[in-house]
Amino acid sequence: MTEDAPSRPPAVSRRSRVRVVGSGPVSMAFACFACRQGIAPDRILLDRAPGPPPPALAGRALALSLGTWQLLARIGRLPRAAPIGTVEVTVSGLPGRVRLTASELGVPALGYVVRYATLVEALERGVAAAGLMYTVPGGDGANLGSPSTPSAPASGSSTEGAMLVVHAEGDTGSDVSELAFAQSALLAEVEVEVEADHATGPLLPAHERFTVAGPLALLPLPEPRRYSLVWCASPEESQRRASLAPEALAAELQSAFGWSLGRLSFWNTPIVAPMVRKARRRIAGDREVWIGNAAQALHPVAGQGLNLGVRDAFLLARCLGQADADHADETVALASYARTRRLDRSGTIALTDTLARIFSIRPLRPLQSLTLTALDLMPAARATLARQFMFGFR
Ligand SMILES: Cc1cc2nc3c(=O)[nH]c(=O)nc-3n(C[C@H](O)[C@H](O)[C@H](O)COP(=O)(O)OP(=O)(O)OC[C@H]3O[C@@H](n4cnc5c(N)ncnc54)[C@H](O)[C@@H]3O)c2cc1C
């Protein structure tokens, strides 16, 4: 650049508006966190798809880690949830097991299980309480609607040039590194026979069992004796299971999981979801940034996807709030955000990928069982692992 050349204006002015694209928990959590960081609600536009979440998302149960629960509690009242007191990890047919317990770690619960739809409703209340506005996808931000009635897109002048766009639409797009696990998950709610032991309070057990075909998780739900099932296997095997009559499917589940919760029966019709890990290569540009599942979609083996996404949302809001406070340009905030997220993001992706892959290798099953036994004998290592699941890598 020559000396007298006009300096390039910053790509985004310090006071640019923030358009948040997405209708899921991460978009709403980010908008609320941003308000709490001092960004005025009228600078934030929430682009949301009209109507309730798609059924594949709405019926999903989510295990929120303690760290996520504490972050979201800052936004408003959270929905009824099942508090997790223990997580027991086993290898089917072999003796090894590891048990994480809230009491041993000195925390009120390891996490809380909620249904996706009820979490979204709670966050919608947070959005309304913060005075945030919705627009609809493709709108230019001029026409704002109330949270319950998104407005129609307007034609005419666009404010896009002054916008900072936060992608939280749950889709990573194509600039990704991808890992196919050759697995699908059968998702359903099941009823168990054995009432939880309430001798130690309301805390409930969660189970992760590594079977020959893939991981099987049973997460407690807020209703008594109800669990959410995530049962992974090859896509063909998952489809075969989904086509079975409920009693036949329950018998197969019983033989894969065992009898520790008594007789298992299906509460609803299972659905099958493909399992692929996708991670964007770049999560921030000059005027765009990607958070939640728009940045990375993980295998559900350790229930970490939304937990990572909520940390994305919280730290992005903090970087933008800090830039405002420092009178710094937002491009600096986005670069700082991308740097800040490197360790947690890469660590959580690597941990999840490893669990999904290593525990699917059949010849390693005796070693998997031994590893769990060894971990169970090492309280310090167990506590480190549990803290990473609860609060992420930092
Ligand atoms: C089987 C399974 C079990 C899981 N269990 C857990 C768990 O126990 N714990 C955990 O932490 N994570 C879990 N996850 C991951 C978790 O579901 C996701 O990480 C989380 O839903 C991501 O939230 P999000 O808001 O980023 O995206 P999404 O939940 O995908 O929401 C994005 C929303 O934006 C909408 N949208 C798309 N395009 C637009 C647009 N242009 N404008 C407006 N809106 C748009 C979409 O329709 C969607 O409703 C699980 C995932 C699976 C598959």
323 in the same domain as 198: no
Question: How many residues appear in the chain?
Answer: 394
How many Å apart are CA 46 and CA 44, to the nearest integer? 7
pLDDT at site 199: 56
* Domain membership flag for residue 192: yes
285 in the same domain as 266: no
Residues of the chain with pLDDT under 50: 1-13, 140-161
- Could you tell me whether strands 163-167 and 44-47 are parallel, antiparallel, or unpaired per DSSP bridges? unpaired
374 in the same domain as 308: no
* Domain membership flag for residue 143: yes
- Could you tell me whether strands 82-91 and 271-280 are parallel, antiparallel, or unpaired per DSSP bridges? unpaired
Q: With contact defined as beta carbons under 8 Å apart, do 33 and 177 qualify?
A: no
Q: How far is the CA of 294 from the centre of ligand 1 (A)?
A: 9
* Domain membership flag for residue 28: yes
105 in the same domain as 43: no
309 in the same domain as 188: no
* Domain membership flag for residue 121: yes
CB 300 less than 6 A from any atom of ligand 1: yes
263 in the same domain as 192: yes
Q: How far is the CA of 353 from the centre of ligand 1 (A)?
A: 18
229: which residues sit within 8 A by CB, 6+ positions away? 186, 187, 188, 189, 190, 216, 217, 218, 253, 270
pLDDT at site 137: 55
* Domain membership flag for residue 3: no
CB 27 less than 6 A from any atom of ligand 1: yes
How many Å apart are CA 299 and CA 63, to the nearest integer? 14
Number of alpha helices (DSSP H) and beta strands (DSSP E) in the chain? 11, 16
135 in the same domain as 108: no
pLDDT at site 111: 97
Q: Which domain holds residue 137?
A: 17-55+116-176+277-352
Atom of ligand 1 nearest to the CA of 113: 8
387 in the same domain as 289: no
Q: How far is the CA of 316 from the centre of ligand 1 (A)?
A: 18
Atom of ligand 1 nearest to the CA of 57: 29
Query: Residue 89: which CATH number?
Result: 3.30.9.10
How many C-beta atoms lie closer than 10 Å to residue 332's C-beta?
16
Where would I find the H helices in the chain? 25-36, 55-58, 66-73, 102-105, 116-129, 235-242, 246-257, 305-325, 330-358, 365-376, 379-391
345 in the same domain as 283: yes
Q: How far is the CA of 206 from the centre of ligand 1 (A)?
A: 22
267 in the same domain as 135: no
Q: Measuring from atom 27 of ligand 1, which residue has the nearest CA?
A: 170
128 in the same domain as 32: yes
Q: How far is the CA of 183 from the centre of ligand 1 (A)?
A: 19
- For the CA atoms of 125, 131, 137, 138, the dihedral, rounded to the nearest 10 degrees, stands at 180
269 in the same domain as 200: yes
CB 188 less than 6 A from any atom of ligand 1: no
pLDDT at site 201: 66
Ligand 1 pocket mutation, candidates 20, 293, 299, 351, criterion most atoms within 8 A of CB = 293
* Domain membership flag for residue 62: no
pLDDT at site 149: 42
Residue 136 is classified by DSSP as -
Instruction: State whether the Cα torsion 126-131-136-141 is positive or negative.
Output: negative
* Domain membership flag for residue 1: no
> Exposed (0-12), middle (13-18) or buried (19+): which is 353, by Cβ within 10 Å?
middle
Local structure of 43: helix, strand or coil:
helix
Amino acid at 17: R
Amino acid at 113: V
Query: Residue 334: which CATH number?
Result: 3.50.50.60
How many Å apart are CA 182 and CA 232, to the nearest integer? 10
* Domain membership flag for residue 358: no
Total structural domains within the chain: 2
pLDDT at site 197: 66
